[in-house]
């Protein structure tokens, strides 16, 4: 295999310990996920007595499988894990995912057990994900070892690296039931006794399926190595990062009011910016930015053209751009002349533009089209944001229109924002726009945050350094 992490995502064979033939244990969920995602490799169960579990052949130990096993998944109580790891080592299994919790996350006794587990892994030349990992997901191979019952997710370019299991759990279900952007891989690192962010970044750099890397981290232990590898990887694949624990509030409120924390956060942001890592706020920000980077071309600069059917949309967009350090250039002479035919005599083109004046001369669709064409043709409007409010009175095929704009200006990101809609109209418009790779957001601020991520990454790639938030 090309990397010693490959078997965590694309193994030819897997053994799962912790499933039962008589009860629904966590290991059974892992087996069910492998089936539900149509994993094409060989699957074995490890069980002291059962000969078969859920149609999968079971063996008392790895050594008795009699075939090569690429990766073993231990969904066992921590008391049984060390023996399981030794069995894996004896059988020549090089990769092990330890889903058991109760290690460094659980007092000194657990920490000692984690140390022992790490020693076995290192001394026998294995690689371990975890302990306290909720598992991995790889949509292209259907290899899914999550401890939570998932549903198939559309393959896509976004890979996620996180200590938390959220992305192999609740958010995986959110993606499969509501999102179109598609997922590539999830690595839940857990306690990081062996494999950490640095290892996974290096792996994803060489992974042909991964286009964008989204990370949630509460602290990178190998800081220097992380910055080095992130600087390299981010040249070819954007890295979006949500950092938890930036204020260090944690347990004690009192200690946090020293004022030193904001400084630390600034240092961290500076280091990440130098490495080309795009630092976002909140899990929403993580997905919003990753989606924009997945769908859109990189803009040639940080300037937006904003077209809105509501005046409030233009005002809130201007506020959000100002806060993010993005610019709204005035319309050029040429753009103004182009848009003129669609406007009443007394009206003039502005940026952001409230299209209601344009709808006085024609339909809502014509209003959007005239202004959007003028903005798209203006060279220094690098990103277009189109704000809709979905009421029956302004119904038209917005996706078709934006697709038309994209086709004539394939170099410009086009983002859409909905300010208010019935549930059914929102779903319909969301699907038709996102199927055409136009990212949709439900607030002006989130749209502008996503535009900022695009502009920031584009500036890094052009070598201008990163725009401050």
Show contacts with a copy of itself in window 144-203 (CB under 8 A). Answer: 147-149, 151, 162-167, 169-174, 176-178
For residue 386, is it left (φ>0), alpha (ψ between -120 and 50) or beta?
beta
- Nearer to a copy of itself by Cβ, of 178 and 333: the residue is 178
**386-405: which residues touch a copy of itself (CB under 8 A)?**
389-393
Residue 460 makes contact with a copy of itself by CB under 8 A: no
User: Which has the closest alpha carbon to 414: 296, 240, 308, 272?
Assistant: 296
**272-291: which residues touch a copy of itself (CB under 8 A)?**
281-284
**41-100: which residues touch a copy of itself (CB under 8 A)?**
none
Task: Please identify which residue in the block is written with the tokens 């003039």.
Answer: 348
Q: How far, in Å, CA of 397 to CA of 401, rounded?
A: 7
Pick the stretch among 137-145, 204-212, 238-246, 290-298 that binds a copy of itself (CB under 8 A).
238-246
Residue 247 makes contact with a copy of itself by CB under 8 A: yes
CA–CA distances in Å: residue 146 to residues 29, 191, 417: 8, 16, 33
- Nearer to a copy of itself by Cβ, of 83 and 319: the residue is 319
- Nearer to a copy of itself by Cβ, of 93 and 343: the residue is 343
Q: How far, in Å, CA of 144 to CA of 184, rounded?
A: 11
Output the six-digit token pair for 22: 């008589």
Residue 215 makes contact with a copy of itself by CB under 8 A: no
Pick the stretch among 37-45, 68-76, 368-376, 385-393 that binds a copy of itself (CB under 8 A).
385-393
Min CB(194)–a copy of itself separation in Å: 19
> In 11-165, which residue ranges form alpha helices assigned H by DSSP?
26-36, 78-90, 107-123
Q: How far, in Å, CA of 199 to CA of 207, rounded?
A: 13
**255-274: which residues touch a copy of itself (CB under 8 A)?**
256, 261
Pick the stretch among 55-63, 323-331, 365-373, 398-406 that binds a copy of itself (CB under 8 A).
323-331
Residue 380 makes contact with a copy of itself by CB under 8 A: no
Pick the stretch among 7-15, 324-332, 401-409, 430-438 that binds a copy of itself (CB under 8 A).
324-332
Burial class of residue 398, CB neighbours in 10 A (0-12, 13-18, 19+): buried
- Nearer to a copy of itself by Cβ, of 297 and 329: the residue is 329
CA–CA distances in Å: residue 9 to residues 141, 175, 259: 8, 19, 43
Min CB(352)–a copy of itself separation in Å: 8
Pick the stretch among 57-65, 230-238, 250-258, 457-465 that binds a copy of itself (CB under 8 A).
250-258
Output the six-digit token pair for 145: 């070892």
Size of the site for a copy of itself (CB under 8 A): 85
DSSP per position, 325-393: T-B-PPPPHHHHHHHHTTS-TT----SSEETHHHHTTS-HHHHHHHHHHHHHT-TT--EEEEEEEE-GG
């Amino acid at each position: 295999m090309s990397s010693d992490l490959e078997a965590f995502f694309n193994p030819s064979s897997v053994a799962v310990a912790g499933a039962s033939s008589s009860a629904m244990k966590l290991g059974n969920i892992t087996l069910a996920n492998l089936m539900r995602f149509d994993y094409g490799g060989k699957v074995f169960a490890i069980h002291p007595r059962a000969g078969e579990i859920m149609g999968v052949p079971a063996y008392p130990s790895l050594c008795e499988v009699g075939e090569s096993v690429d990766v073993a998944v231990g969904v066992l109580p921590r008391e049984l894990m060390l023996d399981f790891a030794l069995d894996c080592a004896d059988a020549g299994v090089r990769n092990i995912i330890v889903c058991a919790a109760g290690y460094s996350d659980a007092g000194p006794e657990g920490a000692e057990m984690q140390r022992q587990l790490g020693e076995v892994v290192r001394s026998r030349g294995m690689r371990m994900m975890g302990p306290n990992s909720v598992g991995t997901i790889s949509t292209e191979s259907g290899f899914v070892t999550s401890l939570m019952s998932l549903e198939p997710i559309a393959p896509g370019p976004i890979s996620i690296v996180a200590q938390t299991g959220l992305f192999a759990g609740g958010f995986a279900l959110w993606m499969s039931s509501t999102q179109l952007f598609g997922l590539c891989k999830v690595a839940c690192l857990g306690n990081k006794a062996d494999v950490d962010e640095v290892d996974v970044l290096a792996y994803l750099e060489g992974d042909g399926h991964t286009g964008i890397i989204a990370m949630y981290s509460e602290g990178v232990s190998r800081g220097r190595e992380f910055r080095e590898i992130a600087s390299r990887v981010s040249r070819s694949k954007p890295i979006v990062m949500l950092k938890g624990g930036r204020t260090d509030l944690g347990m004690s409120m009192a200690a946090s009011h020293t004022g030193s924390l904001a400084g630390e956060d600034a240092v961290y942001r500076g280091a990440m910016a130098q490495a080309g890592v795009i630092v976002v706020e909140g899990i929403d920000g993580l997905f919003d930015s990753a989606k924009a980077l997945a769908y859109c071309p990189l803009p040639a600069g940080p300037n937006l053209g904003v077209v809105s059917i509501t005046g409030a949309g233009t005002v809130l967009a201007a506020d959000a751009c100002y806060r993010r350090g993005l610019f709204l250039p005035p319309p050029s002479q040429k753009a103004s002349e182009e848009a003129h035919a669609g406007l009443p005599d007394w009206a003039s083109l502005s940026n952001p533009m409230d299209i209601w004046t344009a709808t006085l001369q024609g339909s809502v669709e014509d209003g959007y089209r005239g202004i959007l064409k003028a903005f798209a043709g203006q060279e220094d409007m690098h990103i277009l944001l189109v704000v809709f409010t979905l009421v029956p009175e302004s119904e038209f095929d917005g996706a078709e229109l934006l697709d038309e704009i994209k086709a004539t200006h394939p170099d410009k990101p086009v983002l859409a924002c909905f300010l208010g809609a019935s549930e059914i109209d929102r779903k319909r418009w969301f699907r038709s726009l996102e199927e055409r790779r136009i990212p949709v957001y439900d607030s002006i601020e989130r749209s502008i945050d996503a535009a900022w991520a695009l502009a920031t990454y584009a500036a890094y790639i052009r070598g201008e350094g990163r725009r401050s938030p």
